[in-house]
Amino acid sequence: MPALRTEFCGLTLEHPIVNGSGTFDAIAARRAFGDALLEDFPFAAYVSKTVTLEPRQGNAPPRLWELPAGLINSIGLPNRGLEGYLEHDLPRLAELPVPLIVNVMGFTREEVATLVEAFTAREEVAAIELNVSCPNVKTGLLMGAEPAEVSGLLDLVRPLTRKPLIVKLTPNATNPAAVAQAAQDAGADAVSLINTLRGMALRPGSSEPWLGGRTGGVSGAGVRGVALALLDSVAQRVSVPIIAMGGVQSGADAAALLGAGARLVAVGTESFRDPMAGRRVAGELEERAEKGQLSAILTPASRKIPA
Amino acid sequence: MPALRTEFCGLTLEHPIVNGSGTFDAIAARRAFGDALLEDFPFAAYVSKTVTLEPRQGNAPPRLWELPAGLINSIGLPNRGLEGYLEHDLPRLAELPVPLIVNVMGFTREEVATLVEAFTAREEVAAIELNVSCPNVKTGLLMGAEPAEVSGLLDLVRPLTRKPLIVKLTPNATNPAAVAQAAQDAGADAVSLINTLRGMALRPGSSEPWLGGRTGGVSGAGVRGVALALLDSVAQRVSVPIIAMGGVQSGADAAALLGAGARLVAVGTESFRDPMAGRRVAGELEERAEKGQLSAILTPASRKIPA
Amino acid sequence: MSAVAEGSRRTLAPLGRRRVSVTRRCSYGPYVVIHCHDESAPAPRPGQFYMLASAERWGGGEGERPYLPRALSFLRAPAGTDEVHFFFEDVGPGTARLSELEAGEELWLAGPFGVGFAPPSDGGRALLVGGGVGIAPLAAWQDELGLDADALLGFRDAQHAEGAAVMAAAQLATDDGSAGHHGLVTELLAAELDGGEEATVYACGPPRMLEAVRVMCSERAVPAQLALESGMACGFGACFGCVVATREGYKRLCLDGPVLDAAELLTALTPGAGH
Amino acid sequence: MSAVAEGSRRTLAPLGRRRVSVTRRCSYGPYVVIHCHDESAPAPRPGQFYMLASAERWGGGEGERPYLPRALSFLRAPAGTDEVHFFFEDVGPGTARLSELEAGEELWLAGPFGVGFAPPSDGGRALLVGGGVGIAPLAAWQDELGLDADALLGFRDAQHAEGAAVMAAAQLATDDGSAGHHGLVTELLAAELDGGEEATVYACGPPRMLEAVRVMCSERAVPAQLALESGMACGFGACFGCVVATREGYKRLCLDGPVLDAAELLTALTPGAGH
Ligand SMILES: Cc1cc2nc3c(=O)[nH]c(=O)nc-3n(C[C@H](O)[C@H](O)[C@H](O)COP(=O)(O)OP(=O)(O)OC[C@H]3O[C@@H](n4cnc5c(N)ncnc54)[C@H](O)[C@@H]3O)c2cc1C
Ligand SMILES: Cc1cc2nc3c(=O)[nH]c(=O)nc-3n(C[C@H](O)[C@H](O)[C@H](O)COP(=O)(O)OP(=O)(O)OC[C@H]3O[C@@H](n4cnc5c(N)ncnc54)[C@H](O)[C@@H]3O)c2cc1C
Ligand SMILES: Cc1cc2nc3c(=O)[nH]c(=O)nc-3n(C[C@H](O)[C@H](O)[C@H](O)COP(=O)(O)O)c2cc1C
Ligand SMILES: Cc1cc2nc3c(=O)[nH]c(=O)nc-3n(C[C@H](O)[C@H](O)[C@H](O)COP(=O)(O)O)c2cc1C
Ligand code: FES
Ligand code: FES
């Protein structure tokens, strides 16, 4: 899709559509769909599910609650941990036909540093996304909600890597734009947004929480308006490229986020409804581009591609 | 509805369903529906739209954007200002068959104090709700996002009135439960939540904001999960009664909020779809009560009513 | 039932919404007409509107909408029946869903809302000017005023002009000349106005048409009443979302309109109007 | 098309979802059967499932749902046809919408997903135990194993027991005794198991039934394969939402199930299962 080719932190991507971390397990999808997946991969880069230092089982089920035009998940970041990821997941993900972005989370800054160092050493990894939607167990503060937490984290990890560092912002904060600014000032190469909104559901007819994790994160079509507002506020504060997401279902939704200042757009929950949603959204964007409907918002300059 | 009778800050309400501020203009509704409205008023107490010290025209249109299962509004708090309200609105609202709760907002603490004093002097007013979803123009901080802002505000206005003071919490904050706690500690009689989430939309096919106010507030069915999570976190922190709202459409939704710790439940956006939604939700709650389905969550104790 | 307030321009709505069934559906070119059986039917005043939503599956359409009810003028509410008719075009997820409804299916209906047209103050001639779906509120008004209320209707093309069949009589204009006058309906209006007879103009249609009518009437000091559109969430004054700018500040179109005196407006180009 | 991986228990799904039409709809008591024309149909393995959503108006139902597609086992995919059949009951907004679909209407279909049943390892007798809609995956399995695969089916009452007509042959039990054995289907199972012959049990049904089957088979050291349910958002391993606890930790039911060896489970009472 030459009309959609986009530069992102030194990577040249075929189109601006990637997946949201944790919403598309390419290894599992290959088990379900076979190698056809590799021949027609839906995303221009692949973002892997959050990796933590130690393995995690994730939260007790139930883990899902359907909302009007949305979903609450309390998955709880199950993953094999750093070692398991390096041994089991990384070789398989390296077979994908697109660049790999690894998403990491730590419960202390030092844990994040360990993860960043480990992935810096791996050439299969094109970029690292920092999931800061968790409390720093040392300060008790939500890492992604406080500018100072993010600065402190980047002061530690920025010197450890020359790979692009992307900070993923949480919407559960008073001032995400200030957090984005802090990330940029402390050397982040990009920011991504939005992670899920805090949400909860009760077991019908009771006052007991439905989700094993008590609360969870809201995503899907219903959060689209919230995502756009946060993108708008962040785009006014930072100059680094932005990966925007939240409720994208169509080329029209992606075009709106690109128009509001995103460099890339991630598709999350919509992949659950349509496993090839990423490809479809990219195709719908391409149609718009061909009709000239994107020219005002998606210029070669905005994609950092020589025309 | 004796099974649903509920005590709230010294008021005895027929049922626990009220309206969200700014989502039902009883004066306008009477023009549209006539006095039939008074004979079958949908709410057990009436919360009026935010009043500011000075009159406001509100934001330029368009003011509405429909979301999947939701709405973004950028109404911009149009109102006649304190004087106009006292002269024009108050006498008409005093004709309603239910207690009147006045919602006020100021851009400085002193403005809020003036409003609180003025309404304290009026016996038509049963309680005062403080809308703190706006920046304090003196500190530049969002009043409702910072515990210290709310404490500071209440330190000033609490001594001015013996009427119940309700602090309306915004979800656009890192820690609304801490704000609720600060409100309780500084003497608030109740808290209400949630006000709208920040949201935005673009004019289709452009990168221009759709709404005259650029951004607006998200409400409706899609925010239900977010409202419940915030209620849960606040109910764990405070002992004052809570008015919960956000996406309530049915007795089931109201029951969930009551089960999660709310004393009253407000219906907002649903009244736009069904002008008598408040009455319907109360009726559905009553049916549940009759079937004994509410007994676990809605005890006389939880309603502060002698059984 | 039909308590009339605010002069004779507003019939009060029955409290709340009611579930009514569609008794007939037919189409005129791209336009759909549905008849609803509305037992509690108070006789609405021409120019008033209702809020409609399908009783089943209002939602799940394009972009996961609709969610809010949609405002539609009534086309006719024939006396002696319990019927109210609507006339609309599929322009988005809400009207798409409404246009699917077949006889026997049900709707949530609230209204009538707003204030309708006022008769020509001097008892003079009435000139009805409609564009596209904007002809809807004019049909009942023409019925009431009688046939000497001349109607001038503009459409995109002959296919759309089939919609004119819902009016008792009319002069036509089409953008492409495929039916009636080749050009804008406002050209027909200019000719009529310049014909000399005193007239009151009643217009409904796309913002650009209304603005042309407004300017034309203002220049000629001809009184005009415009039925405007704006995005509406509630229809009964609850949301403050539907305001249009007037010389006296913003007015809620659902409460103080949808029919406004052209002289009140600085422009009829209301931002974010229906389409 | 039908690439078979993971032994003979998984047919790979065509990439993505596809739009298929309903060719027939019929009902058996409270159960609905729909036939879909699925051209790209790879032959699924009994026990596998698909994710379904109506192509139009998936949404706008009770509580403004559904939004996500719904998991359904296939009932049959008759060889030589391009058809796949589903069997379900209206228990909520998703199945309510699916049960409205008439011949000619369209669905989004993805799958087949998951791993199906494995044949009795010793070539011994197969005992199929189903409860309610849980009989769905057993029909195709019985077809494949042949009639000596005995089926024991439990229903609430005679009306629900009409669903048994989709199976080739079966012993029935109803809770109220209105058809077949008066009592639980697991009572029939106990009698069969205590009859002595070596058997492998294949069961699908409500959590309590599955748990009774699990305990019963475990006590008697009878191998059992249980087709479980859990809430699913995606069906292809993307969301990690459908996990059930096994002796080896949580497993994604859509990827490593829905058929699990009973010996892997500590309990079949999976929290938040379909119903
Ligand atoms: C008083 C009144 C009377 C009316 N009478 C009639 C009538 O008799 N017949 C008739 O056909 N129409 C009538 N209309 C217009 C009608 O209400 C609208 O066409 C209808 O609401 C469109 O809804 P939709 O879902 O089909 O289209 P929408 O998708 O809502 O699109 C309609 C317009 O709304 C805007 N829009 C697009 N997306 C959104 C969004 N997400 N949120 C908000 N706005 C959006 C755009 O400007 C778009 O062009 C009337 C309107 C009013 C106010
Ligand atoms: C592999 C597999 C195969 C299946 N095969 C069949 C089959 O062949 N036939 C068949 O009839 N069924 C089958 N099911 C079950 C079927 O998927 C569910 O019954 C269906 O998803 C229910 O959707 P609903 O919208 O109709 O009901 P829902 O409203 O989703 O209710 C179903 C249950 O979900 C829970 N629930 C309620 N509200 C929510 C909410 N908002 N979010 C999340 N959960 C909620 C409750 O436990 C409720 O009892 C299968 C399930 C799986 C996993
Ligand atoms: C089931 C699920 C799991 C997720 N897991 C992760 C995760 O592991 N790490 C992360 O950074 N974000 C995770 N997310 C957030 C998404 O990447 C994305 O930010 C969010 O879902 C908003 O986009 P959407 O509305 O398109 O889904 C998850 C979201 C969902 C729905
Ligand atoms: C159109 C509109 C106007 C509102 N105006 C006010 C207001 O003036 N003051 C206020 O405190 N809240 C206002 N709100 C917020 C509501 O009172 C309520 O907190 C919010 O809408 C969530 O409830 P809901 O999802 O049921 O609508 C408004 C909401 C809407 C939709
Ligand atoms: S449409 Fe809500 S105030 Fe007019
Ligand atoms: S349903 Fe999504 S991982 Fe199984």
B247-264 pLDDT tens trace: 999 999 999 999 999 999
Query: Cβ neighbours of residue C199 under 8 Å, at least 6 residues apart?
Result: C120, C124, C125, C126, C127, C192, C193, C222
pLDDT computed for residue D7 by the predictor? 67
Q: Which two tokens stand for residue D91?
A: 């228990």
pLDDT computed for residue B306 by the predictor? 55
**Chain C residue with Cα closest to B64:** C241
pLDDT band, residue A299 (cuts 50/70/90): low
Cis ω for the linkage preceding C137 (within 30 of 0):
no
**Chain B residue with Cα closest to D64:** B69
**Averaged over B62-77, what is the pLDDT?**
97
B169-184 pLDDT tens trace: 999 999 999 999 999 9
Pairwise CB contact (< 8 Å): A61 & D3: no
Residue B137 has pLDDT above 70, yes or no: yes
A81-91 pLDDT tens trace: 999 999 999 99
Please state whether beta strands D224-227 and D199-204 pair in parallel, antiparallel, or not at all (unpaired).
parallel
- DSSP letter for B158, please: G
Residue D5 has pLDDT above 60, yes or no: no
Q: Would the CB of C87 count as within 6 Å of ligand 1?
A: yes
**How far away, in angstroms, is C61 Cα from ligand 1 center?**
15
**Cα–Cα dist B72/B199, whole Å:** 6
**Cα–Cα dist C156/A140, whole Å:** 64
Label residues A65-89 b or e (16+ Cβ within 10 Å = b).
bbbbbbbbbbbbbbbbebeebbeeb
**Cα–Cα dist C31/C90, whole Å:** 8
Residue B295 has pLDDT above 60, yes or no: yes
Reported ipTM: the value is 0.95
Asked if residue C140 lies in contact with residue C46, where contact means CB atoms within 8 angstroms, the answer is yes
Q: Which two tokens stand for residue D1?
A: 């098309």
- Taking CA atoms, A285 is separated from A107, A226, A241, A250, in Å, by 38, 22, 19, 8
Kindly report the protein residue whose alpha carbon is nearest to atom 48 of ligand 1: C275
pLDDT band, residue C1 (cuts 50/70/90): very low
A18-72 pLDDT tens trace: 999 999 999 999 999 999 999 999 999 999 999 999 999 999 999 999 999 999 9
Asked if residue A219 lies in contact with residue A194, where contact means CB atoms within 8 angstroms, the answer is no
Q: Which two tokens stand for residue B243?
A: 């008015």
Residue A144 has pLDDT above 70, yes or no: yes
- DSSP letter for B85, please: I
pLDDT computed for residue B136 by the predictor? 74
Residue D180 has pLDDT above 50, yes or no: yes
Residue D275 has pLDDT above 50, yes or no: no
Please give, rounded to a whole number of angstroms, the shortest distance from the CA of A103 to a CA of chain B. 23
List the one residue out of D3, D31, D33, D28 whose CA is nearest residue D15: D3
Helix or strand holding residue D88 (H, E): strand D83-89
pLDDT computed for residue A137 by the predictor? 74
Classify burial at B108, counting beta carbons within 10 Å of its beta carbon; exposed 0-12, middle 13-18, buried 19 or more.
middle
pLDDT computed for residue A136 by the predictor? 74
Helix or strand holding residue B138 (H, E): none
Q: Would the CB of C84 count as within 6 Å of ligand 1?
A: no
pLDDT band, residue B129 (cuts 50/70/90): very high
List the one residue out of A222, B230, A26 whose CA is nearest residue C63: A222
Radius of gyration of chain C (CA): 18
**Cα–Cα dist A245/A103, whole Å:** 15
List the one residue out of D164, D160, D150 whose CA is nearest residue D75: D164
Tell me the pTM.
0.96
**Cα–Cα dist D201/D189, whole Å:** 9
Residue C6 has pLDDT above 80, yes or no: no
**Cα–Cα dist C198/C193, whole Å:** 8
Please give, rounded to a whole number of angstroms, the shortest distance from the CA of C41 to a CA of chain B. 13
Ligand nearest to the CA of A254: 3
pLDDT computed for residue C37 by the predictor? 97
Residue A281 has pLDDT above 50, yes or no: yes
**Chain D residue with Cα closest to B250:** D63
pLDDT computed for residue B2 by the predictor? 81
D interface mutation test: which of C54, C56, C57 has the most D CBs within 10 A?
C57
Q: Would the CB of B210 count as within 6 Å of ligand 1?
A: no
D60-117 pLDDT tens trace: 998 999 999 999 999 999 998 999 999 999 999 999 999 999 999 999 999 999 999 9
Q: Would the CB of D92 count as within 6 Å of ligand 2?
A: yes
List the one residue out of D11, D143, B242 whose CA is nearest residue A32: D11
pLDDT band, residue C5 (cuts 50/70/90): very low
Residue B1 has pLDDT above 90, yes or no: no
Q: What are phi and psi of B37, to 5 degrees?
A: -60, -40
Please state whether beta strands A165-168 and A125-131 pair in parallel, antiparallel, or not at all (unpaired).
parallel
B134 is catalytic: yes
Which H, E and C letters describe chain A, residue by residue? CHHHCEEECCEEECCCEEECCCCCCHHHHHHHHCCHHHHCCCCCCEECCCECCCCECCCCCCCEEEECCEEEECCCCCECHHHHHHHHHHHHHCCCCCCEEEEECCCCHHHHHHHHHHHHCCCCEEEEEEECCCECCCCCCEHHHCHHHHHHHHHHHHHHCCCCEEEECCCCCCCHHHHHHHHHHCCCCEEEECCCEEEECECCCCCCECCCCCEEEEECHHHHHHHHHHHHHHHCCCCCCEEEECCCCCHHHHHHHHHCCCCEEEECCHHHHCCCHHHHHHHHHHHHHHCCCCCCCCCHHHHCCCC
Asked if residue B243 lies in contact with residue B265, where contact means CB atoms within 8 angstroms, the answer is yes
Q: Which two tokens stand for residue C189?
A: 């209006």
Task: State the catalytic residue, choosing from B11, B67, B134, B156.
Answer: B134
Classify burial at D227, counting beta carbons within 10 Å of its beta carbon; exposed 0-12, middle 13-18, buried 19 or more.
buried
Radius of gyration of chain A (CA): 18
**Cα–Cα dist B37/B126, whole Å:** 20
Please give, rounded to a whole number of angstroms, the shortest distance from the CA of C107 to a CA of chain D. 14
Asked if residue A306 lies in contact with residue A284, where contact means CB atoms within 8 angstroms, the answer is no
- Percent of chain C beyond pLDDT 70? 96
Cis ω for the linkage preceding A194 (within 30 of 0):
yes
Show which residues on chain C lie within 8 Å of chain B, measured between beta carbons.
3, 5-6, 10, 12-17, 53, 59, 63-69, 108, 110, 113, 230-245, 249-250, 252, 255, 270-272
**Cα–Cα dist B180/C214, whole Å:** 53
Helix or strand holding residue D143 (H, E): helix D136-145
Pairwise CB contact (< 8 Å): D64 & B250: no
pLDDT computed for residue A300 by the predictor? 64
Helix orientation angle between A251-259 and A224-235, rounded to the nearest 10 degrees: 20
First-residue to last-residue Cα distance in chain D: 34
**Cα–Cα dist C85/C141, whole Å:** 14
**Cα–Cα dist A53/A81, whole Å:** 5
pLDDT computed for residue C198 by the predictor? 86
Tokens 């920025």 belong to which residue?
Answer: A158
**Cα–Cα dist B306/B283, whole Å:** 22
Residue C112 has pLDDT above 70, yes or no: yes
Residue D1 has pLDDT above 70, yes or no: no
Residue A266, Cβ neighbours under 10 Å: how many? 30
Give the neighbor-by-neighbor strand order of the sheet with D259-261. Answer: D181-182, D171-174, D150-155, D125-131, D199-204, D224-227, D259-261
pLDDT band, residue C4 (cuts 50/70/90): very low
- Taking CA atoms, A302 is separated from A188, A252, D50, in Å, by 19, 18, 41
Q: What are phi and psi of C125, to 5 degrees?
A: -75, 145
**Averaged over B230-237, what is the pLDDT?**
97
